[in-house]
Amino acid sequence: MPTAFAATCTARRRLLGAAAAAVLAGAVPASARAMPALRRGEPATRSLAFHNLHTGESLHTLYWEQGRYLEQPLHDIAHLLRDFRNGEVQPIDVGLLDLLHAVREGLGATRPIQLISGYRSAATNAALRARSHGVARASLHMRGMAADIRLPGCELRRLRDLAWALRRGGVGFYPRSNFVHVDVGAVRSWIGS
C-alpha cells in the first residue's frame, strides 16, 4: 500500500508541475519564450540589414545580443517591415528575424536584404487576394511571420535552396517576380509566378 500511495503522490506532483508550467508559459510573452540560449561557439550578436524597395528606407541593426532580443531594434525592424500601403505596423516574429539572419550568414551576404513585402494588414491582404490567386487567405504576412525578399548579387535559386535547407518554415520560389518568400510556419515549399 505505501508503494501505491507514493506512486499516486509522484504522479499528482508531476501533473501539478506540468499544469503550473503551462500556466506560467501562457504568462510569458511568446518572444521571451522563443529566446534561444547562447550555445558554445555561437556569435554573441545577431544583426540584420534591410532595404525596403517600396519606401526606399534602409536599416542595419543589431537585434540580438548575449542571448537577448533588443527592444528598440525590434521596433525599428517592425517599422521598416510595416505594411507600406497603409503604414500599419505589427511586431515581427523573432523566429523570422533569426531565419533571415541565418540566410544572410549562410550566403555570406554583406549587402542588405531587399524587402518586397513584410507585414501585411488584413485589408491589404484581402485587396491582394482579390487580384491574385497566389495570395493566401490566412497569409503569415498578416502575423509578421513572413517576408518576400531577394539579395543583391545572389542568384535567386541559391537563396531559395539555402532557405529550404534550413527547414525553418515555408519557402516559395517566384522566379518571374524575382523574389523568394520565407516564413516560419509549417515546413513546405512551392513555386509561384
Do 97 and 29 belong to one domain?
no
Do 126 and 149 belong to one domain?
yes
Go through the chain and tell me how many residues it has: 193
- Segment among 38-42, 123-127, 143-147, 188-192 with least mean pLDDT: 38-42
Backbone φ and ψ for 37, nearest 5 degrees, come out as: -75, 150
How buried is 137 (Cβ within 10 angstroms: 0-12 exposed, 13-18 middle, 19+ buried)? Answer: exposed
Do 11 and 104 belong to one domain?
no
Judge contact between 143 and 105, C-beta under 8 A: no
- What is the end-to-end Cα distance of the chain in Å, rounded? 69
User: Taking 90 as the threshold, does the pLDDT of residue 155 lie above it?
Assistant: yes
- The stretch 168-187 carries a mean pLDDT of 97
pLDDT digits (tens, 9 = 90+) for 104-134: 999 999 999 999 999 999 999 999 999 987 8
Q: Which CATH number goes with the domain that contains 74?
A: 3.30.1380.10
Q: Record the pTM.
A: 0.78
Q: What is the pLDDT of residue 27?
A: 36
Q: What is the pLDDT of residue 41?
A: 62
Domain count along the chain: 2
Do 17 and 61 belong to one domain?
no
Do 9 and 91 belong to one domain?
no
pLDDT digits (tens, 9 = 90+) for 42-89: 678 999 999 999 999 999 999 999 999 999 999 999 999 999 999 999
Do 65 and 18 belong to one domain?
no
pLDDT band at 160 (very low <50, low <70, confident <90, very high): very high
Do 17 and 86 belong to one domain?
no
Which residues does 174 contact at the CB level (< 8 Å), separation at least 6? 148, 180, 181, 191, 192, 193
Q: What is the pLDDT of residue 40?
A: 62
Which residues does 59 contact at the CB level (< 8 Å), separation at least 6? 48, 49, 50, 76, 77, 80, 112
pLDDT digits (tens, 9 = 90+) for 12-38: 444 434 444 443 344 334 443 344 454
Do 22 and 87 belong to one domain?
no
In terms of phi and psi (left: phi > 0; alpha: psi -120 to 50; beta: otherwise), the region of 46 is beta
Do 26 and 45 belong to one domain?
no
Do 6 and 92 belong to one domain?
no
- In angstroms, the CA 189 to CA 193 distance is 14
**Domain interval for residue 172:** 41-191
- The stretch 181-191 carries a mean pLDDT of 97
Hey, how many other C-beta atoms are within 10 angstroms of the C-beta on 61?
16
Task: Identify the residue whose cell numbers are 501505491.
Answer: 4
Do 29 and 60 belong to one domain?
no
How buried is 118 (Cβ within 10 angstroms: 0-12 exposed, 13-18 middle, 19+ buried)? Answer: buried
Q: What is the pLDDT of residue 134?
A: 80
Judge contact between 117 and 137, C-beta under 8 A: no
Report the candidate in 188, 70, 178 with the shortest Cα–Cα distance to residue 140: 188
User: Taking 90 as the threshold, does the pLDDT of residue 184 lie above it?
Assistant: yes
Do 68 and 117 belong to one domain?
yes
